[in-house]
């Protein structure tokens, strides 16, 4: 009985220490997000570029500094070209602002008329309510969101520098880890580092492929519907789709607003809604399983909570960082005996489907042990 009590106390102590570490880490991220977020983004980019640097070093015998510089230039030239495309497209849209404003005002008046006829609310009361809501939004959450986005944008200038330096000194960091980890654990340490690199590289490459496909499908669908700025909206939708679960909602809202401000047909909203819904079904049921696949084996609950928590702590960049950071934690947890239960908790051990009366559906009653089945 004493052994069991001691074991239970040890388990509770470990769980408490893990919670304390999580709370401390979240506090540090929140307080130092302008320093930590660019570093984490640079860390992911460095992992992505590491195979290119190694290839240039080993195959073409390019000096390390030049190989790192070439890799960084290629990556940030690609990212910069996307931003420049969006900038010039937005500049073209600004030239049609009078027409956009006129169409938007017409849709507002039609909506006010419908609300008045349906709910018997006068136009004056509707305008007063909208003004109060807009003021509260700007003073509250929207202001914080814009501030977070601005801080993230201002920090982007540091990311190329951090990426360059992390790649340049990558062997130094590995040697440092080997010095602080006991000799007998070096095999496990290298296993963790290799798996982290593999997961991050495959995940980001998969996201890029998914981004191009979603951009193409969205652009084609909007062109068929006759929505202007289809290429720009397709690119923005693909970029926002990189933010799990939440990004596509903002993309749909932005697309609808853009369509309404350039068209007088209110049914375009329904058409766009069905189009985006269809693309999302294809994305979630084919692209993600086949392209992104099981490279990040995290259950949906942890994924959604991670996106919300990271978004609250670090804004838009935090939402993008959520899944890679949780995946890295899972790799570490799965390879340290005392932390394996936490790796199991955030993982996705459920089989994808189960048959019931010839109907294939998700199997949500699996993944636990016999004790869990009794619960």
Q: DSSP letter string over 119-156?
A: H---HHHHHHHHHHHHHHHHHTHHHHHHHHHHHHHHHT
Residue 79 and residue 73: Cα distance in Å, rounded? 10
Roughly how many angstroms between the first and final C-alpha of the chain, as a whole number? 25
Residue carrying the six token digits 């130092």: 32
Retrieve residue 332's tokens: 């570490």
Residue 336 and residue 334: Cα distance in Å, rounded? 6
| Residues forming beta bridges with residue 359, ordered by sequence position | 356
Q: What is the pLDDT of residues 224-259, one digit of tens each?
A: 988 888 888 999 999 888 877 778 888 888 888 777
pLDDT on residue 213? 92
Name the maximum alpha-carbon separation found in the chain. 80
Residue 116 and residue 219: Cα distance in Å, rounded? 36
Is residue 189 within 8 Å of residue 181, measured between CB atoms?
A: yes
pLDDT on residue 96? 67
Count of other CB atoms within 10 angstroms of residue 309: 17
Retrieve residue 207's tokens: 């996201």
350: left (phi over 0), alpha (psi -120 to 50) or beta: beta
H helices present in the chain, as ranges:
2-31, 33-58, 64-94, 97-119, 123-139, 141-155, 158-168, 170-180, 186-224, 230-240, 247-260, 268-282, 300-334, 340-346, 370-374
pLDDT on residue 66? 95
pLDDT on residue 3? 43
pLDDT on residue 374? 44
Retrieve residue 194's tokens: 């290799």
Is residue 256 within 8 Å of residue 167, measured between CB atoms?
A: no
Is residue 342 within 8 Å of residue 11, measured between CB atoms?
A: no
What residues contact residue 247 under an 8 Å CB cut-off, 6+ apart? 239, 240, 241, 319
Mean pLDDT of residues grouped by 10 in the chain (375 residues)? Answer: 54 82 88 87 94 93 95 93 86 70 70 74 70 58 50 71 95 94 92 91 87 93 87 90 80 81 74 88 79 68 88 85 89 88 82 54 51 47
Q: What is the pLDDT of residues 160-188, one digit of tens each?
A: 999 999 999 999 999 999 999 999 999 99
Count of other CB atoms within 10 angstroms of residue 185: 12
pTM above 0.75, yes or no: yes
Vertex 343, ends 28 and 14: CA angle to 5°? 65
């Amino acid at each position: 009985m004493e052994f069991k009590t001691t074991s239970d106390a040890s388990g509770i102590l470990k769980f408490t220490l893990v919670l304390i570490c999580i709370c401390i880490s979240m506090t540090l991220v929140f307080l130092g997000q302008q320093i930590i977020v660019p570093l984490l983004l640079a860390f992911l980019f460095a992992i992505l570029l590491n195979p290119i640097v190694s290839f240039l070093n080993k195959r073409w015998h390019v000096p390390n500094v030049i190989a790192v510089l070439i890799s960084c230039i290629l990556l940030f030239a690609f990212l910069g070209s996307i931003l420049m495309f969006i900038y010039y497209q937005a500049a073209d849209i600004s030239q049609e602002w009078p027409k956009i404003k006129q169409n938007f005002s017409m849709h507002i008046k039609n909506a006010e008329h419908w609300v008045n006829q349906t709910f018997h609310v006068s136009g004056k009361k509707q305008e007063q309510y909208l003004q109060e809501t807009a003021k509260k939004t700007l003073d509250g959450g929207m202001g914080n969101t814009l501030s977070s986005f601005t801080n993230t944008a201002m920090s982007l200038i540091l990311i190329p520098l951090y990426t360059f330096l992390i790649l340049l000194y990558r062997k130094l960091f590995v040697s440092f880890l080997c010095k602080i980890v006991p000799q007998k654990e070096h095999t496990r340490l290298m296993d963790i580092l290799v798996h982290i690199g593999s997961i991050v590289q495959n995940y980001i490459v998969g996201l890029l492929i998914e981004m191009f496909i979603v951009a193409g499908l969205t652009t084609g669908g909007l062109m068929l519907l006759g929505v202007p700025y289809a290429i720009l909206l397709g690119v923005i939708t693909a970029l926002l789709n990189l933010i799990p679960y939440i990004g596509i909602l903002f993309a749909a809202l932005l697309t609808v607003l853009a369509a309404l401000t350039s068209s007088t047909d209110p049914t375009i909203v329904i058409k766009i809604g069905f189009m985006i819904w269809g693309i999302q079904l294809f994305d979630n049921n084919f692209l993600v399983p086949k392209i992104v696949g099981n490279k990040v084996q995290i259950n949906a609950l942890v994924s959604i909570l991670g996106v919300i928590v990271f978004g609250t702590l670090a804004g838009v960049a935090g939402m993008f960082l959520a899944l890679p950071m949780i995946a890295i934690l899972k790799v570490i947890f799965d390879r340290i005996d005392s932390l394996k239960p936490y790796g199991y908790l955030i993982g996705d051990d459920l089989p994808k489907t189960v048959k019931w009366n010839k109907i294939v559906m998700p199997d949500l009653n699996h993944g636990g042990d016999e004790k869990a089945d009794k619960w």
